[in-house]
Amino acid sequence: MVTRTHEAPEFDATYGAIAHPVRRRILDLLVEDDMPVHALAQQFEMSRPAVSQHLKVLLDSGLVRERRHGRERRYRLAPDGLRTVRDWIQHYERFWDDRFERLREHLEQTNPTPTTHAPESDSQNPDMQSQRTKGPQP
């Protein structure tokens, strides 16, 4: 359940890359537009080599790609790299959807006749309950 994406090395690279505030800021900037390193460096109170180091981590993780523009190298966001993050969360979503359905089954088996405080007509009808609960998740 929680594991498949964790086993992928790119998962570590992605999470490592977005774990640093400077690198997240770089990604934020690159969402807007492609940029050369000197333009990026202007946004930070750190040396250009330091910014380049962060860029290298992002490049290695595949979250950022480099493109030569004449003599200039520009950097752009490669959002596919964030897929592992999304897949990881979706993993949990599927896991919990499955478990909450099992919880419903467990409750139905252990308490087949709900003794609710103020029973309403539809709450007594198990067919309607199960219809309400199957189908797409909220």
Partner 1 sequence: MTTEATNDLSTVTRDLTYPQPPPVVWKALTDTNALADWLMPNDLKPEVGHAFDFRGQPYGDWDGVIHCAVLESVPNERLVYTWASLGVETTVTFELAPEASGTRLHFEQTGFEVTNTRAKQGAEYGWNAFFEKLPAVLATI
**Under the rule (CB under 8 A), what is the footprint of partner 1?**
1-4, 6-7, 15-16, 18-21, 24, 27-28, 31, 77, 79-80, 82-83, 85-86, 88-89, 92-93, 96-97, 99-100, 102-107, 110-111, 114-120, 122-123, 126, 129, 132-133, 137-138
Shortest spacing between CB 117 and partner 1, in angstroms: 7
Those residues with Cβ within 8 angstroms of residue 2's Cβ, 6 or more apart along the chain or in another chain: 91, 92, 95
Nearer to partner 1, 7 or 68 (CB): 7
Shortest spacing between CB 60 and partner 1, in angstroms: 13
Q: How many angstroms separate the CA atoms of 69 and 63, rounded?
A: 19
Assign 131 to helix, strand or coil: helix
Shortest spacing between CB 116 and partner 1, in angstroms: 5
The torsion angles phi and psi of 34, rounded to 5 degrees, stand at: -65, 145
Nearer to partner 1, 56 or 96 (CB): 96
Exposed, middle or buried by CB within 10 Å (0-12, 13-18, 19+), for 108?
middle
Q: How many angstroms separate the CA atoms of 69 and 76, rounded?
A: 12
Nearer to partner 1, 3 or 71 (CB): 3
Sheet (strand 35-36) strand order: 35-36, 72-77, 64-69
Nearer to partner 1, 20 or 67 (CB): 20
Shortest spacing between CB 70 and partner 1, in angstroms: 27
